[in-house]
Amino acid sequence: MDLLKKKSLWLSIIVLLILCGATVYVLHRELAGQDIWGTLLNADPFWFSMAVLAMVLYFIADGMNIARPLRISGHKISFGQMLKYSFAGFFFSSITPSSTGGQPGQLYFMAKDGIKVHSGAFSLLCTLLSFQIISVSWGIVGAFFAPHGLWNLDGKYSYVFPIGFILNLAIIVTLACVLFSRKMACFFAWAYLKLPGKKSSKPGERYASLRSFAGYRRAAKVMRQNKAVFLKMLLNSFVQITLYFSVPFLCARALGADSLDWFSAVCTQGALFLSVSSLPLPGAAGVTEYGYALFFDGLIPTGILGSALLLSRFCNFVLPLAESGIGMIVLQLKQKSLRTKR
C-alpha cells in the first residue's frame, strides 16, 4: 500500500512539473519581446478590472454548463469541482493544437473524482455543442454587422473565415447527431469498435465498451426528457461567450479607444474567433494576432492598436492560462486533502 502511495505521489509530482513547464513555455512564447508591464501601467484600472472580471465570470459560466448534465445524470458536483473542470478545459485547450487536449484533460479530473467516463463524455459533448451553437451564431452576426466586412478581405486571410465556418458548422451537426440521434450514436460506437486497436480486444473489454455506450445513451435519454436543461445551457453559453468576446472592447477602452462601441467590437471578435478557432495551432497562436490587427484596424486608433492587442491577449489568454493552471492544481490538492481527512 505504501508503495502504491509513493508511486501516486511521484506521478502527481511529474504531472505537476509537466504542467508548470508547459505553462512557462506558452507564457514565454506569448510575452517574449512584449512590453506588457508598460501596457498595464498605461491601462485604465477600471476597464482593465472589468476585462479580468469578465474572464472570471467566463470560467464560472463554463463550469455551470459542465455541471448541469452531470447533475441530471445523478452526480453531485460542488462549486470547486465545476471550476476545476472548467480550468482544465481552458488550460489543456490552450497548449494543444486545435484545442484537442481540453476534453481529455477534463475527463482525467472527472475520473479522479469518481465520475464515469460515459457521464463525463456526455456532459462535455453537451457543453461543447452549446458553446459551438452560440459562438457560430455570434460569428454569423459578425460576418454581416462587423464594420469591416469579411466579404471584402483580400489575400490568403479571405479564405480563413469560410473554412472556420464550415469546420465549426460540421462540429455542430456531428455533435447533434451523436447526442440526439440513436442511429448515428450506434454508428459511431460500431466504428469505434472496428478500429484496428479494438479488433483484437478481449470479450470483456468489448463488453465494457458496450456498457459505457449504454450508459451514455441513458444519459442522452435523460437530457431529451429534460430539454429545459439544454435551453438553460444555451442561455448560459450566450452569457459566457458574450463576456469572452467583450474582452477586446474592454481592453481597447482601457487604453483610450473611447470611440469604439461595444456591439461593433463583439461582432468583430465573433467573426475573428470563428475564423481561427478550428485552426491546428495551440491557442490559434500567430494567426489570432494577425487577424486582430486586420479586423480591428480602423476601429481602434493606429497608435494604440498594438498595445490593445497585447492587453487583450494578456486578459483573455495569458492571464487565464496561468490562473487556470494554478487553480486546477490548487483545487485538486485541496479536494485530495479533504478526502484524506475523511
CA distance to 165, 236, 279, per residue, from 102 (Å): 21, 19, 15
pLDDT tens digits along 10-24: 555 566 566 666 666
Count of C-beta atoms within a 10 Å radius of residue 4: 8
Question: What does the pLDDT read at residue 294?
Answer: 80
Question: What does the pLDDT read at residue 2?
Answer: 46
Beta bridge partners of 300: 297
CA distance to 10, 77, 87, 99, 328, per residue, from 84 (Å): 21, 11, 5, 17, 5
Residues lower than pLDDT 70 in the chain = 1-34, 97-99, 148-160, 185-219, 277-288, 338-342
What pTM was estimated for this model as a whole? 0.83
Give the single-character DSSP code of 282.
G
C-alpha cell read off for 88: 482544465
| Segments making up each domain of the chain, as ranges | 2-29+53-341
Question: What gap in Å lies between CA 133 and CA 173, rounded to an integer?
Answer: 10
C-alpha cell read off for 69: 448534465
CA angle 27–31–35, rounded 5-degree value: 150
Question: Would you say 119 and 73 are in contact if contact means Cβ atoms under 8 Å apart?
Answer: yes
pLDDT tens digits along 297-307: 888 998 899 89
Decide: helix, strand or coil at residue 297: strand
Question: What does the pLDDT read at residue 284?
Answer: 47
The rounded percent of the chain whose pLDDT value lies above 90 is: 30
Question: What does the pLDDT read at residue 73?
Answer: 84
